[in-house]
Amino acid sequence: MEVASVPEIPSWLPELLADDGVTELYPPQSAAVEAGITTGESVVASVPTASGKTLVATLAMLSSIERGGKALYIVPLRALASEKHEEFERFEAYGLSIGVSTGNYESSGEWLADADVIVATSEKVDSLLRNNAPWMDDLSCVVADEVHLVDDDHRGPTLEVTLARLKGLAADPQIVALSATVGNAGEVATWLDATLVESEWRPIELRAGVHYGQAAHFDDGSTEELPVTSGEKPTEAIVRDTLDDGGSTLVFVNSRRNAKGAGKRLAGVVGERLTADERSELAEIAAEIRDVSDTQTNDELANAVEHGGAFHHAGLSRRSRSLIEDAFRDRLLKVVAATPTLAAGVNTPSRRVVVRDWRRYDGSVGGMAPLSVLEVHQMFGRAGRPGRDPYGEALLLANSHDELDELFEQYVWASPEPVESKLAAEPALRTHVLSTVASGVARTRDELLAFLKETLYATQTENAAHLESVMDDCVAYLDANEFLTFDRSDGSLAATSLGHTVSRLYLDPMSAAEIVDGLRGVSDPTPLGLYHLVARTPDMYELYLRSGDREAYTMTAYERETEFLGAMPSEFEEARFEEWLSALKTAKLLEDWASERDEDRITDDYGVGPGDIRGKVDTAEWLLRGAEQLAVELELSVGPAIRRARKRVEYGVSEELIDLAGVHNVGRKRARRLFDAGIETRADLRTAEKATVLGAVRGRTKTAEGILEAVGHPNPSMAGVTEPGSDTSGGSPPADGQSTLGDFP
């Protein structure tokens, strides 16, 4: 089907797509059009990666807007939201407005009311529904990207309830769900009242197979020699072979440690094959990475990048990950070793994909467990990019002939598992029960049950009584903790003022109950006490206790027992005491960060990466903001103490630097240098000697001007100002040393 013949799309779209070389639709895209994607019909598109799912969404959204509507594009990850926002921004040249929203769960997003296309994470959409964003009623098209993630234990329930809520809006919006190939796409389509478009078609050939011995064995029955030389590992041989053919390789491993080791080692294979221009460009990227963070891990990453390789995992800062992804897409980086999270993340295609580790640690089984077929097929789907690769290949690695046969049976020839709802677990359901009542969707027990019967879980289960039982347990818990009231005589439900606040703040009710219990009866909590309080909530993923940690943190617990908000469990309550100590370890990390301890020391002491610190800091700042508002709701006097602790962890500074660190472009290290130079407040900064400010930012003129402008200095220009003791011969200023965590100002 030619793009020009697609009904109800904007007149300018065919020409725009033609500029990208797209004049005809792929078969799955044509099938989606025939199913009514551009005439308002709901569709589930279950097709392989790189088969054009985004264009299916684009056709649906733009045709809906052409009819006077408004479109919402839901993604599972913030990084994907940024990627899609950038992709859709080109429509602004044709008069459309594109908005993106991923954070601030307390907001109703009024600024999005005028946007034609809104890109948001499922958590943000859920929070917008809780905060009764009025423009939600204007939605005519809702796209759910990666909808198979309803199967995910953590994100799945939120996506599922959010889609159930959107499906029930008065406007009855068109639902377009994009999915990898799964075993029960028809069931998902039935749940969403949508037509199923299912296909195995790909624009370029993808061969999958297993490497064993000296050859690659493929699913089409062919075998190709791919020798491993003496002293060489199979992944090195595959990377070398791919490079010789002008391609790139993405290697999936099962842990951060393995990703780092493989990335560094494989960079050695690449280095000698780089051109002079590539070396120069990679050196620039490596320099940017070094500016992001001053940790050893970041330095090792930069060293690997200089040689054309990299590693990628959640422990890296967001900025470092973004630089790696961009360089790999541009084929400057020839190999990246990554943990499986990258397979479900941003667009990072390669010529070859190697699934080196098909088992990973699973705490629920207490050992190594095989990956699902769906996960492995998602990794496979990263191989081959239309317009860049003549083909794509995906390889698992076998250590024996029996394992060769096993991997073909278990993954290569296997069909992906069906997606299954995870909603009926009480921890997942309690927050959604509260939000459903607080937002007015359900005012009685019967209405609540009727809403839950619109979920995927209700579609899949034959045991309706189980969902009802879990729902009643959640209602009882919320009633007991004064988040809602339940009148058993008539079945009426109503959220209390406290319950409305908890739902609006996007807190797990169990987290809110823990915080409320800890704050009551306290007059002057310490930062550590507050950090420990939020660290032991379900919304904070605690740090694991390593060998030797129990004894050290037990000693700390007794030394600082008076600071804790709530009674410390007995050492004889093994499980509870372990959790308490894990929360204490997390709280100590936050305290170290808020005491200006160097980032590299924190990463070494706690065995984490810059991305982990950032994750803990972001979560703590959000939970403390919630605690602050709960204190106001309950008329407690601890609000100012919570605010100080929150600001300290947000900026990573001691209390005396809070005012300075909040200035745009200052941050923790520059704030300390300014303070030590006698500039202690914003007021001081407005009247400070410019040379002193320039010295504090290590000679960065534009940075100094930006800081002075931010505080309202009458003349922020640095023209003619020199850094005290500086060399005025024209040399470059020294490295600033300001960067921390990659994302802080």
Phi, psi of 179 (to 5 degrees): -140, 150
Tokens of 470: 């879990």
Nearest partner of 745 among 651, 668, 665, judged by Cα: 665
Confidence at residue 293, expressed as pLDDT on a 0 to 100 scale:
81
* Tens digit of each residue's pLDDT (9 = 90 or more) over 248-268: 999 999 999 999 999 999 999
What is the average pLDDT score of the chain? Answer: 92
Query: Averaged over 656-662, what is the pLDDT?
Result: 95
Asked if residue 657 has pLDDT above 70, the reply is yes
Confidence at residue 740, expressed as pLDDT on a 0 to 100 scale:
46
Indicate the DSSP class of residue 531: H
The contacts of residue 386 (CB under 8 Å, 6+ apart) are 50, 203, 204
Q: What's the rounded Cα separation, in Å, for the pair 562 and 571?
A: 17
* Beta strand ranges found along 174-222 (DSSP E): 174-179, 195-198, 206-212, 215-218
Indicate the DSSP class of residue 371: P
Predicted confidence band at 736 (pLDDT cuts at 50, 70, 90)? low
Q: What's the rounded Cα separation, in Å, for the pair 467 and 446?
A: 13
Contact 194, 44 (CB under 8 A): yes
Q: For the domain bounded by 426-504, which CATH number is listed?
A: 1.10.10.10
Nearest partner of 124 among 176, 74, 160, judged by Cα: 74
Query: Averaged over 9-20, what is the pLDDT?
Result: 95
Confidence at residue 107, expressed as pLDDT on a 0 to 100 scale:
65
The number of helix segments (H) and strand segments (E) in the chain equals: 31, 19
Give, for 119, the enclosing helix (H) or strand (E). strand 117-121
* Tens digit of each residue's pLDDT (9 = 90 or more) over 20-74: 899 999 999 999 999 999 999 999 999 988 788 999 999 999 999 999 999 999 9
* Tens digit of each residue's pLDDT (9 = 90 or more) over 80-131: 888 899 999 999 999 999 999 887 666 667 888 899 999 999 999 999 999 8
- Tell me how far CA of residue 15 lies from CA of 5, 64, 67, 204, 471, in angstroms: 12, 19, 20, 24, 52
Residue that wins the pLDDT comparison between 677 and 735: 677
Query: Max alpha carbon distance in the chain (Å)?
Result: 85
Asked if residue 496 has pLDDT above 70, the reply is yes
Domain 3-198 matches domain 206-412 at the CATH topology level: yes
Q: What's the rounded Cα separation, in Å, for the pair 160 and 151?
A: 9
DSSP secondary structure of 384-397: --TTT-S-EEEEEE
Confidence at residue 106, expressed as pLDDT on a 0 to 100 scale:
65
Position 76, amino acid: P
Confidence at residue 742, expressed as pLDDT on a 0 to 100 scale:
41
The model's pTM is 0.90
Confidence at residue 738, expressed as pLDDT on a 0 to 100 scale:
45
Q: What's the rounded Cα separation, in Å, for the pair 434 and 446?
A: 15
Q: Which CATH architecture has domain 206-412?
A: 3-Layer(aba) Sandwich (3.40)
The rounded percent of the chain whose pLDDT value lies above 90 is 78
The rounded Cα 384 to chain-centroid distance in angstroms is: 24
Confidence at residue 729, expressed as pLDDT on a 0 to 100 scale:
47
Q: Is the dihedral of CA 175, 179, 184, 186 positive or negative?
A: positive
* Tens digit of each residue's pLDDT (9 = 90 or more) over 570-616: 999 998 999 999 999 999 999 999 999 999 999 999 999 999 999 99
Three-state DSSP class for residue 337? strand
CATH topology classification for 3-198: Rossmann fold (3.40.50)
Nearest partner of 112 among 93, 94, 438, 131, judged by Cα: 131
* Tens digit of each residue's pLDDT (9 = 90 or more) over 312-357: 998 898 899 999 999 999 999 999 999 987 766 667 789 999 999 9
Domain 509-652 has CATH 1.10.3380.30: yes
* Tens digit of each residue's pLDDT (9 = 90 or more) over 615-641: 999 999 999 999 999 999 999 999 999
Asked if residue 490 has pLDDT above 50, the reply is yes
* Tens digit of each residue's pLDDT (9 = 90 or more) over 271-324: 889 999 999 999 999 999 998 887 889 999 999 999 999 999 988 988 999 999
Residue ranges per structural domain of the chain: 3-198, 206-412, 426-504, 509-652, 661-745
The contacts of residue 585 (CB under 8 Å, 6+ apart) are 542, 543, 545, 549, 553, 606
Q: What's the rounded Cα separation, in Å, for the pair 361 and 436?
A: 36
Nearest partner of 89 among 74, 78, 79, 99, judged by Cα: 99
Predicted confidence band at 79 (pLDDT cuts at 50, 70, 90)? confident
Confidence at residue 745, expressed as pLDDT on a 0 to 100 scale:
34
The contacts of residue 352 (CB under 8 Å, 6+ apart) are 238, 242, 247, 248, 249, 250, 383, 392, 393, 394, 395
